[in-house]
Amino acid sequence: MPRAPKFTLEADLPEEEETLSAATKKMRMLRSLVCGNKYEKAARTQGFTSIAGVDEVGRGSLFGCVVAAAVILPENTRIRGLRDSKQLLREDRERLAKIVEQKAIAIAIEEIDAATIDRINIYQASKLAMTQAVLKLAPAPDHLLIDALRLNHPCAQTSIIYGDSLSISIAAASVVAKVYRDRLMRELHERYPEYGLASHKGYSTPVHLAALEKYGPTPLHRKSFRPVAQTSLPWDVPPAVEIIEVPTDILPA
């Protein structure tokens, strides 16, 4: 005798599904996206021939610079495993960055320091880093693919939500920028070993927050970020600086 089908009621769903953090749910969603060259092909059908992917890393960090990269890949480039740098292990990022460097027509990197971030805010600093990276490219691009932003640049642009998980050119820029900034954070760890920069890359982890509480901020911490401002002496934070909250779902990869 056939068994009656078993229906799963909403109340029967595992507690895990109900208690997953927003960051975990977002990461699962991003892993389901397919990173390919659909947007690159669409730009070429419009007559563009030099297409650059642009992305930044370090936006949510409490310490150091924000880094942007711009990458122009040859038409129909395929790089197995390339996707948003935050979804990759360190060894995979570094391996893929080398492949991107070998295949790319042009790569440019720009960093904006913590003092500038505090002066103009992290949003404007991120856009400035990306714009400067684009301006460094040779040959110059005629179309930009950008992760969820538009730049103050005359070039034609396509802004793509979750672009680093959907466009191979943006993913290439993401990986190049991430490998560059992580290497810089490991070097700065030697100067400030008590903060643990080599592991968390300056992000707001319990270890980093505890070090800030114990030792106070370094000259390279972003004083416009609330966790840093809260551990700074009043005269260390310029009165014109707007203190911003740090998103809780931005964590080091």
Name the β-bridge partners of 229.
none
**Separation between Cα atoms, residue 93 and residue 76, nearest integer Å:** 21
Side chain identity at 32, as an amino acid letter? S
Pairing status of strand 106-112 against strand 66-72: antiparallel
Residue 36: count other Cβ atoms within 10 Å of its Cβ: 15
Residue 222 has pLDDT above 70, yes or no: yes
Residue 2 has pLDDT above 80, yes or no: no
Which residue would you say has higher pLDDT here, 9 or 79? Answer: 79
User: Would you state the pLDDT for residue 242?
Assistant: 60
User: Would you state the pLDDT for residue 75?
Assistant: 96
Residue 221 has pLDDT above 50, yes or no: yes
**Separation between Cα atoms, residue 197 and residue 11, nearest integer Å:** 43
* pLDDT grade for 6, boundaries at 50, 70 and 90: very low
pLDDT tens digit string along 149-193?
A: 999 999 999 999 999 999 999 999 999 999 999 999 999 999 999
Residue 234 has pLDDT above 90, yes or no: no
Q: What is the mean pLDDT of residues 190-210?
A: 97
Residue 233: count other Cβ atoms within 10 Å of its Cβ: 8
pLDDT tens digit string along 39-97?
A: 999 999 999 999 999 999 999 999 999 999 999 999 999 999 998 898 899 999 999 99
Give yes or no for a cis peptide into 74 (omega within 30° of 0): no
Residue 7 has pLDDT above 60, yes or no: no
* pLDDT grade for 34, boundaries at 50, 70 and 90: confident
CATH for 35-188 (3.30.420.10, 3.40.50.150, 3.30.1280.10, 1.10.8.640): 3.30.420.10
pLDDT tens digit string along 107-166?
A: 999 999 999 999 999 999 999 999 999 999 999 999 999 988 999 999 999 999 999 999
Residue 188: count other Cβ atoms within 10 Å of its Cβ: 20
Answer yes or no: are the C-beta atoms of 79 and 100 closer than 8 Å.
yes
Please tell me the least confidently modeled range out of 9-18, 95-104, 223-232: 9-18
Q: Where are the domains of the chain?
A: 35-188, 193-236
Phi and psi dihedrals of 172, rounded to 5?
-60, -45
Nearest to 243 by CA among 95, 13, 229: 229
* pLDDT grade for 25, boundaries at 50, 70 and 90: confident
Residue 235 has pLDDT above 50, yes or no: no
User: Would you state the pLDDT for residue 86?
Assistant: 84
**Separation between Cα atoms, residue 146 and residue 40, nearest integer Å:** 11
pTM: predicted TM-score of the whole model, two decimal places:
0.83
Q: What is the mean pLDDT of residues 203-207?
A: 96
